[in-house]
Amino acid sequence: MNFAQVDFPHPPRRRPVIGDFGTMMRRHRGRPVQRAVEVLADFTEPVVEVKLFNAKLVLVRSGLVGAELCDETRFEKRLAPGLITLRQLAGDGLFTAFNDEPNWQLAHDLLRPAFTRPAMQTYHGTMLQVCRELTDTWDTIEGPVDVSPWLTKMTLETIGRTSFSTDFGSFTSEQVHPFVTSMVDALAAAQRRGFLTSAPLAKLFLRRNQATLDRNREYLDTVLDEIIAARVASGDRSERDLLGLMLNAEHEASGEKLDLRNVRHQILTFLIAGHETTSGALSFALYYLATNPQVRARAQAETDEILGVDPDAEPTFEQIAKFRYIRRVLDEALRLWPTAPGFVRGARQDTMLAGQWPMTTKDQCMVLAAAIHRDPEIWPEPSRFDPERFTPAAVKARPAHTYFPFGTGERACIGRQFALHEAVLVLARLLHRYEFSADPRYRLKVSERLTLMPEDFRLALTRRTPSGGSQPAADGEPDQTAQPSMMAKRMVSGIASNSVTAARGNSATSVTP
């Protein structure tokens, strides 16, 4: 049975030809994900059909239905229109490959060792160095810092250096590296193209767009091909970075290696998928830390307990796992604003979704994480920022597969541990080094590119003097950060009342997408 034969719930005032275009574009302002979350909030049904001209997609708003779609035996990843357009840049890289493309499985098998614990230990020093360059720069800036652009520079540098030992000069040059400019322009063109493909007469609007995309793609390909060729010609067979691993690793069963074209696709995939997602997660986490003084005080108390009284102290690799409360802050920020806002699933065989909605192998559903992470049946008071949702007990009590900021199943983000390690490291360093505050007049505004990102969010920074403290429990012992320490209570009581009042008036505790 096909979706067309079933009366799916859909937005009111559907019109011939344009379908739900009017509803979805109302108050759109270039933010389709946030508009979709608004529309879904008006429904009680678990799924909602949206039709835009000749394109039709079923959006999922129920956490339990989203969890069902995560069943790998019944459903699989499908590429959304935006990802299909992105294939013009990243080809059959891990993020944009179709399920049946052989390079996906080969690359996935070969690259898994790049994200094991031993590999992560080799990246730790680079992450510290780039974070150090960020804080050195922030120390010299007078006035508030524009958070997201600086964090994006930092995460891009980290990916560039760990992926193919390339420094983009983000903290040493006043000029933006042309590779970065070209990549940003190409991504913007790809995003616009993905949005316009379903519109009538789209070809008339897309010709110039395609020319921009082609010009930037050719430049990116040329630069990366030259880097790959130079590494091959050097005879360097070490696996000191991802490029070395991709060039030299052989599949343990078949002996296959990645071809050079796919190596280029994988490098670009890591650059595209790996930098904005992490910088967005960090930006949202800093927003909630800045606007929730008690949360910030408790997180800073944790850094003081682990790192001590030296504001320049840097966490060791083993210490990252000890920042349990900071990790909860990050998880809760990603719940409210998953920087990769959703993924598309299709049926492996004709089936019934939730026992009611028919899906054929040609049909597909978008699991909109930004909506499911606000399902009140799963997340009580879903708009409230509360890191305690991610205590071990709370996580265990929730239904499985209802939180997925990194996707799901075998096609979930392979670099998840890389991103989380870097994000916790950076948050710990910033919390330990700085007191920071946001303008109390600022209201969270989220821009939508390939990912979600706070817009025009600035922090006023001052250097802090850590208080030090006793060492936290070792791994495997009870988590002493589960209750506020005396230090945290003292820090909270010392916060000026006007800061608390400003934070309560801020949108941090009442989120409207």
What φ, ψ does residue 375 adopt, rounded to 5°? -70, 115
Q: Dump pLDDT digits (tens) for 165-187.
A: 999 999 988 888 999 899 988 88
Cα angle 341, 345, 346; round to 5: 160
pTM for this predicted structure? 0.88
Q: Is the pLDDT of residue 53 over 50?
A: yes
pLDDT more than 90, % of the chain: 73
The answer to whether the CB of 212 falls within 8 A of the CB of 185 is yes
| 360, two tokens | 């054929």
Q: Would you state the pLDDT for residue 202?
A: 60
Q: What span, in angstroms and rounded, lies between the C-alpha atoms of 296 and 97?
A: 40
CA separation for the pair 180, 153 (Å, rounded): 10
Catalytic positions are 277, 406, 413
154: nearest Cα among 179, 174, 135: 135
Tens-digit pLDDT profile for residues 410-447? 999 999 999 999 999 999 999 999 999 999 999 999 99
Max CA separation in the chain (angstroms)? 67
- Per-residue pLDDT tens for 286-299? 999 999 999 999 99
Residue 495 pLDDT more than 60?
no
Give the helix, strand, coil percentages of the chain, each rounded to 5: 55, 10, 35
Of 444, 458, 464, residue with least CA distance to 145: 458
Q: State which fold the 3-509 domain adopts.
A: Cytochrome p450 (1.10.630)
DSSP-derived secondary structure for 430-495: HHHHEEEEE-TT----EEESSSEEESS-EEEEEE------PPPPPTTS--GGGS--HHHHHHHHTS
- One-letter-per-residue 3-state SS of 362-397: CCEEEEEHHHHCCCCCCCCCCCCCCHHHHCHHHHHH
Residue 469 is predicted with a pLDDT of: 59
Binding residues: 413
Residues at the annotated binding site for heme? 413
Q: Confidence band (pLDDT; 50, 70, 90) for 512? A: very low
Model confidence at 158, pLDDT cuts 50, 70, 90, reads very high
Confidence of residue 204 (pLDDT cuts 50, 70, 90): low
φ/ψ of residue 56, rounded to 5: -135, 135
Output the pLDDT for position 27. Answer: 77
Which tokens belong to 482? 């589960």
Of the listed ranges 153-167, 251-265, 320-334, 457-471, the least confidently predicted one is 457-471
Residue 511 has pLDDT above 70, yes or no: no
Pairing of the two strands 342-347 and 364-368: antiparallel
Task: Give the count of alpha carbons within 13 A of 442, CB side only.
Answer: 21
Domain borders along the chain are 3-509
Quote the mean pLDDT of the chain: 87
